[in-house]
Amino acid sequence: MFAPSTPMARRQARTLGGSPLLRWALIAVALVFLGVFLFVPLVAVFTFAFQKGSAGYLAAVSHPEARSAILLTLTAAGIAVPLNLVFGLAAAWLLSRFRFPGRALLLTLIDLPFSVSPVIAGLIFVLLFGRQGWLGPWLAEWDLHVIFAVPGIVLATVFITLPFVVREVLPVMQAQGSDEEEAALTLGAGGWRTFLRVTLPKVKWGVLYGVILCNARAMGEFGAVSVVSGHVRGVTTTLPLHAEILYNEYDFTGAFAVASLLTLLALVTLVLKKYVEWRSEAS
Amino acid sequence: MSSPHRVLPGFRLSLGFTWAYVGLLVLIPLSSLVLKTVSLSWPQFWDTVTAPRALAAYRLSFLASFAAALINVVFGLLVAWVLVRYRFPGRSLVESLVDLPFALPTAVAGLTLTTLFSAKGWYGQHLEALGLKVAYSSLGVAVALTFIGLPFVVRTVQPVLEDIDADVEEAAATLGATPWQTFSRVLFPAVLPALLSGFTLAFARALGEYGSVVFISGNMPMRTEIVPLLIVTKLEQYDYAGATAIAVVMLVASFLLLLVVNLLQRWSHRRLETRPGT
């Protein structure tokens, strides 16, 4: 992997795919495929967003409904990410440091939000809190709204993004072992102090990585949120849902202006991800 | 139970908190699905899940996901190979861009691909001239699912390719193997397990995908309606029972796929253990 490039280049002539013609043909096919599926769509989002110039763009993203969508997206992510961060740290500590009955079941349940369709994630909350749901009559009695309201959107977002931090922190914690923690405890440090001063610094890049991915998904989730939202304009529409509404009303420029905000989020996520990968390799 | 690990603090606290959190957010909501399923009568369940509209949706979801995963196997292997073995200008940009489908909200992917592939779009106008209708057809569903599943195969195959030393290929070539023999006898068997798990992951993700497909498919019942959309349609009509029945079929399908992934991983681990040096 870390072989210097010159011997590698010399060697390439004798290994598979080493002939220059084949090499450039393979590179060309791969780049055309990625260009068609990734690069052009990326350029297209911004081209479509600025079709009516920057004035049209600014009007679309500063529209009151767009602003309330931004606010709701930030709210949902602002609740889901910290909750799943705390959960991720606790669960990773538990699963990496202790063996106990039910551990495998717990791991399966934690992974579940990854493996079910987002639509099913929304459905289970509708079945629980919806008008005809199990808690529906009780909620109606107290005039509480979960489905087709903000709490439902937050719940669905928390559910969908639940595994992200654990999944990134658990392998790092496992790989680090607990020798330093045991040393700290022997030297008289308390449990919390040991966790905050010894464990957390060791796994910080894993934590950051998990948080970045968790946040990207929380802000971009569509399926689960769409099911529980009810699409009440300016009230229960997150950014992806707002883009959908505009698109369905044939306001393409507006839809792509909103979509471009989410695309920027994706690009920032990729850059941060790369940075964290680079830093954690360096340390 | 006196494992040496028990000297570490926080077992009870983290156990209690983790189970409470998972219980509240995963176990209880999921049990609402189980309870709803149990409350359905068998004929009601069976009629819903075998209705012609449901069968058409399974067929489309399965075939389009399968086709998309297959496309991703071919191009995923190619992209992984090119990224691992060749150095070319823009390589690190490509390397980062591969993860875009993971980071980009699915709705954005759906909007963009639909606009590109529609009759007047950048791609669509040329494809329509050739008689290919992509947007609002089952082909469009496969295109969206290809986009969504793109990183899976690349990211599962890439580390395996990185581990295969170029020495192995060189040895095969020195011993007189043709490039095709080196590929089919040396490289392909080594990456096959990773390729299979990449395929299954992409396939499973495609089966559940909703956001990108609803835009490009046109959502015509019997023709371009995928299973997740059928669930949403039933929910919008307040047909909770119907939505639940279809969801159960989907959950069983994804559970079986997950089982396949685990078996494949175990199989490939065993292969690697019994064949050191490959």
Same domain assignment for residues B45 and B131: yes
Are residues A36 and B123, on separate chains, in Cβ contact within 8 Å?
yes
d(CA A262, CA A244): 13
Determine whether domain A63-282 maps to CATH 3.30.1320.10: no
What is the least distance, in Å, from the CA of A153 to any CA of chain B? 13
Q: Which of A159, A194, A216 sits opposite B29 (nearest CB)?
A: A159
pLDDT for A280: 87
pLDDT for B211: 93
Same domain assignment for residues B81 and B170: yes
User: CB count, 10 Å around CB of A99?
Assistant: 10
What is the percentage of chain A residues whose pLDDT exceeds 90?
73
> Is B81:A26 a contact under the CB 8 Å cutoff?
yes
pLDDT for B170: 81
Which residues does chain B have within 8 Å of residue A139's beta carbon, measured at their own beta carbons?
Answer: none
pLDDT for B276: 46
d(CA B137, CA B148): 17
- For residue B248, the chain A residue with the least C-alpha distance is A120
How far, in Å, are A126, A150, A236 from residue A228 at the CA level? 7, 9, 9
d(CA A170, CA A88): 8
Stretch B248-261: mean pLDDT, rounded? 86
Are residues B32 and A133, on separate chains, in Cβ contact within 8 Å?
yes
**Helix-strand-coil percent breakdown of chain B, rounded to 5?**
80, 0, 20
pLDDT for A71: 96
d(CA B14, CA A89): 9
Q: Tokens 């835009």: give the residue.
A: B215
d(CA A221, CA B233): 19
pLDDT (tens digit, 9 = 90+) per residue, A158-214?
Answer: 999 999 999 999 999 999 888 888 889 989 888 899 999 999 999 999 999 999 999
Same domain assignment for residues B79 and B185: yes
Residue B71: pLDDT above 70?
yes
> Is A208:A276 a contact under the CB 8 Å cutoff?
yes
pLDDT for A168: 94
> pLDDT band at B274, cuts 50/70/90?
low
> Is A228:A238 a contact under the CB 8 Å cutoff?
no
Residue of A51, A247, A119 lying closest to B135 (CA atoms) = A247
Q: Which of A5, A227, A263 sits opposite B235 (nearest CB)?
A: A227
Are residues A98 and B106, on separate chains, in Cβ contact within 8 Å?
no
Residue A6: pLDDT above 60?
no
Domain enclosing residue B99, as ranges? 41-274
Stretch B90-95: mean pLDDT, rounded? 91
d(CA A221, CA A229): 12
Sign of CA dihedral B262, B264, B266, B268: negative
3-state secondary structure chain A: CCCCHHHHHHHHCCCCCCCHHHHHHHHHHHHHHHHHHHHHHHHHHHHHHCCCHHHHHHHHHHCHHHHHHHHHHHHHHHHHHHHHHHHHHHHHHHHHHCCCCCHHHHHHHHHHHHHCCHHHHHHHHHHHHCCCCCCHHHHHHCCCCCCCCHHHHHHHHHHHHCHHHHHHHHHHHHHHCCHHHHHHHHCCCCHHHHHHHHHHHHCHHHHHHHHHHHHHHHHHCCHHHHHHHCCCCCCCCCHHHHHHHHHHCCCHHHHHHHHHHHHHHHHHHHHHHHHHHHHHHHC
Same domain assignment for residues B3 and B87: no
> pLDDT band at A29, cuts 50/70/90?
very high
d(CA A264, CA A46): 10
pLDDT for A7: 52
Same domain assignment for residues B152 and B110: yes
d(CA A87, CA B121): 45
Same domain assignment for residues B77 and B207: yes
Same domain assignment for residues B25 and B52: no
- pTM for the whole structure: 0.90
Are residues A240 and B105, on separate chains, in Cβ contact within 8 Å?
yes
**CA A47, chain centre distance (Å):** 25
- For residue A214, the chain B residue with the least C-alpha distance is B103
pLDDT (tens digit, 9 = 90+) per residue, B156-183?
Answer: 999 999 988 778 888 888 888 888 888 8
Which residues does chain A have within 8 Å of residue B229's beta carbon, measured at their own beta carbons?
Answer: 119
In chain A, where the domains are located: 1-49, 63-282
User: CB count, 10 Å around CB of B257?
Assistant: 17
List the single best residue of A14, A27, A105 to mutate versus B (max B Cβ within 10 A): A27
Contacts across the A-B interface (CB distance below 8 Å):
281
pLDDT (tens digit, 9 = 90+) per residue, A32-53?
Answer: 999 999 999 999 999 999 999 9
pLDDT for A4: 42
- For residue B99, the chain A residue with the least C-alpha distance is A270
Are residues B231 and A120, on separate chains, in Cβ contact within 8 Å?
yes
Same domain assignment for residues B203 and B222: yes
Same domain assignment for residues B83 and B112: yes
Q: What's the domain count of chain B?
A: 2
Angle at A277 between CA A99 and CA A82, to 5 degrees: 60
How far, in Å, are A123, A243, B68, B102, B240 from residue B236 at the CA level? 11, 20, 28, 28, 9
Residue B117: pLDDT above 60?
yes
d(CA A57, CA A258): 9
Same domain assignment for residues B122 and B252: yes
User: CB count, 10 Å around CB of A274?
Assistant: 14
> pLDDT band at A15, cuts 50/70/90?
low
The complex's ipTM works out to 0.89
Stretch A120-136: mean pLDDT, rounded? 92
Stretch B71-75: mean pLDDT, rounded? 97
> Is A152:A131 a contact under the CB 8 Å cutoff?
no
Quick one: which H or E segment has residue B214?
helix B211-217
DSSP three-state, residue B231 = helix
> pLDDT band at B275, cuts 50/70/90?
low
Are residues B244 and A119, on separate chains, in Cβ contact within 8 Å?
no
d(CA A32, CA B104): 20
List the single best residue of A40, A123, A125, A227 to mutate versus B (max B Cβ within 10 A): A123
Residue of B278, B78, B124, B261 lying closest to B190 (CA atoms) = B278
Are residues A262 and B104, on separate chains, in Cβ contact within 8 Å?
yes
Are residues A222 and B107, on separate chains, in Cβ contact within 8 Å?
yes
Residue of A259, A275, A268, A273 lying closest to A73 (CA atoms) = A259
Stretch B70-89: mean pLDDT, rounded? 94
pLDDT (tens digit, 9 = 90+) per residue, B2-21?
Answer: 444 457 888 999 999 999 99
DSSP three-state, residue B238 = coil
Q: Return the CATH number at B192.
A: 1.10.3720.10
What is the least distance, in Å, from the CA of B274 to any CA of chain A? 24
Same domain assignment for residues B20 and B61: no
Which residues does chain B have within 8 Å of residue A120's beta carbon, measured at their own beta carbons?
Answer: 33, 208, 228, 231, 247, 250-251
Q: Tokens 């369940």: give the residue.
A: B45
Same domain assignment for residues B25 and B81: no
Q: Which of A13-17, A244-248, B38-42 has the lowest mean pLDDT?
A: A13-17
